[in-house]
Amino acid sequence: MGIQITPSILNSDLSRLADEVARIGSADWVHVDVMDNHFVPNLTFGPTMLESLSRHTDIPLDAHLMIEDPDRTAIEYVEAGCGSVTFHVEAAGAPVRLARELRAHGARAAMALKPATPVEPYEELLPELDMLLVMTVEPGFGGQKFLDLCLPKIRAARQLIEKHGVETWLQVDGGVSLETIERCAEAGADVFVAGSAVYSADDPDRMVQELRAVAEAASSVE
Which active-site residues does the annotation give? 33, 173
Q: What is the secondary structure of 99-162 as a DSSP string? A: HHHHHHTTSEEEEEE-TTS-SGGGGGGGGG-SEEEEESS-TT-SSPPP-GGGHHHHHHHHHHHH
Which of 209, 193, 211, 204 minimizes the C-alpha distance to 22? 204
Please count the CA atoms within 13 angstroms of the CA of 150 that sit on its side-chain side. Answer: 27
What's the CA angle centered on 192, arms 188 and 196, to 5 degrees?
140
- What CA–CA distance (Å, rounded) separates 73 from 69? 7
